[in-house]
Structure 1
Amino acid sequence: MTSVTFKTNSALGDCPGMMHGDPQTSNMGLVVLQEWWGMNEQIIARGKELAEMGNFVTLVPDLYRGKVAKDHEEAGHLSGSLDWAGAIEDIRGAALFLMGKGCRKVGVTGYCMGGALSIASAALVGELSAAAPFYGIPKAERCDVKTIIIPIQAHFGELDTIAGFSAPADARAFEAAMKGKKDFELFMYPAGHGFTNSNNKANYNKESADLALSRTVKFMARHLCSR
């Protein structure tokens, strides 16, 4: 694990982050985006887990610049005040940083708020080659999902109750909007919101989490591998 700082066009300036993996042994980069809590130990560990599972070089950007929510109220405040345009630039900066480390292609994956940002960046960040969003969809004014041209593999819970963001109806609406796209797939799991986060005691579903992460790793390896 390496603490890094990379250039970004965000108004907040350079962005810190945590990098896992060895650029000497892999040229596949993966940006891993936080839930609404911030860059906490769980998402840093997820970056490490994905790096080890797929031999990726992963980078978890600290979109909140050092702030980590202690409860739902603070998480809501932090996510609600996030400068989305700036966050998109942070993601672009993260991708460029990984490319500068020797990664030939870079993907993005994220959870909850990070899932929505994954979709938005798939539409807005041309440096990305694939995206795997988890249980989060951006509002229509954030981006036009129909402009997405990179491969997408999306993951949602059938028991997710967050209407307008990640509920099954929202997932299906996203799927309908992406109809006709060559490289698009969406998986539903018998689980609730945040089902891959073991800190989410109410909704964590190990079987679904393991399957979703395995699918993500295979998907990214397929689209990021340079032959």
Structure 2
Amino acid sequence: MTSVTFKTNNALGDCPGIMHGDPEKSKMGLVVVQEWWGMNEQIIARGNELAKMGNFVTMVPDLYRGKVATDHEEAGHLMGGLDWAGAVEDIRGAALFLMGKGCRKVGVTGYCMGGALSIAAAALVGELSAAAPFYGTPKAELCDVKTINIPLQAHFGELDNIAGFSAPEDARAFEAAMAGKNNFEFFMYPTGHGFTNPNNKENYNKECADLALSRTVDFMKKHLGSARL
């Protein structure tokens, strides 16, 4: 685990982050985007887990610049104050940082808020080669998902009740918008919102989480794999 700071076009300036993996042993980069909680121990651990599972060099950008929520009210306040377009630029900056370390291709994955940002980044960040968003969709004013041209694998929960963001009707609307695109994969799981987060005591589903993460790793290795040493 390495603490880094990288350049970004976000008006907030340079973005801190945590990098896992060894650029000397892999040329596949993966940006791992936080939930609304911030860059907490769980998302840092997920970055490490994915790095080990797929032999990726991962980067977890700290979109809140050091702020971490511990309850829903605080998390909602932090997410509500986020400059989403600026956060997309942070993802671009993270991808460029990984490329600067020698990664030849970079993907993005993210959860909840990070899932929505991953979709937006897939549409707006030309440096990315693949995306795997989880249970989140961006607002239309942030991006037009129909412009996405990179491989994308989406993961949603059939019992997700976050209407207007990640509920089944939102997931299906995203699926419909992506219809006909090459290398688009869409998965629904029999569980609720946040099902890959072990800290989510209500909805964590280990079986679904393990399946979704293994699919993510296989998908990224397939589309970033030509970047191996």
TM range (shorter): over 0.9
Structure 2 counterpart of 1:184, one-letter code:
F
1:1-227 to 2 correspondence within 5 Å?
A: 1-226=1-226
| Superposition deviation, residue 88 in structure 1 | 0.9
| Superposition deviation, residue 85 in structure 1 | 1.4
CA distance in 1, matches of 2:155, 2:89: 24
CA deviations on 1:188-223 (whole Å, 9 max, x unpaired) are 001100000000000000000000000000000000
CA distance in 2, matches of 1:214, 1:70: 28
SS across alignment from 1:197: coil
Question: Unaligned 5+ residue runs, structure 1?
Answer: none
CA distance in 1, matches of 2:76, 2:46: 22
| Superposition deviation, residue 70 in structure 1 | 1.6
SS across alignment from 1:182: coil
SS across alignment from 1:36: coil
CA distance in 1, matches of 2:187, 2:206: 16
CA distance in 2, matches of 1:208, 1:85: 31
| Superposition deviation, residue 53 in structure 1 | 0.1
CA deviations on 1:136-192 (whole Å, 9 max, x unpaired) are 000111100000000000000001001110011111110000011011011000110
| Superposition deviation, residue 84 in structure 1 | 1.0
CA distance in 2, matches of 1:104, 1:181: 24
Q: What do you get for the CA RMSD once the two structures are aligned? A: 0.6
Structure 2 counterpart of 1:19, one-letter code:
M
The runs of 4+ residues in structure 1 deviating greater than 2 Å are none
SS across alignment from 1:226: helix
For this pair of structures, how many residues does the alignment match? Answer: 227
Question: Unaligned 5+ residue runs, structure 2?
Answer: none
Structure 1 counterpart of 2:137, one-letter code:
I
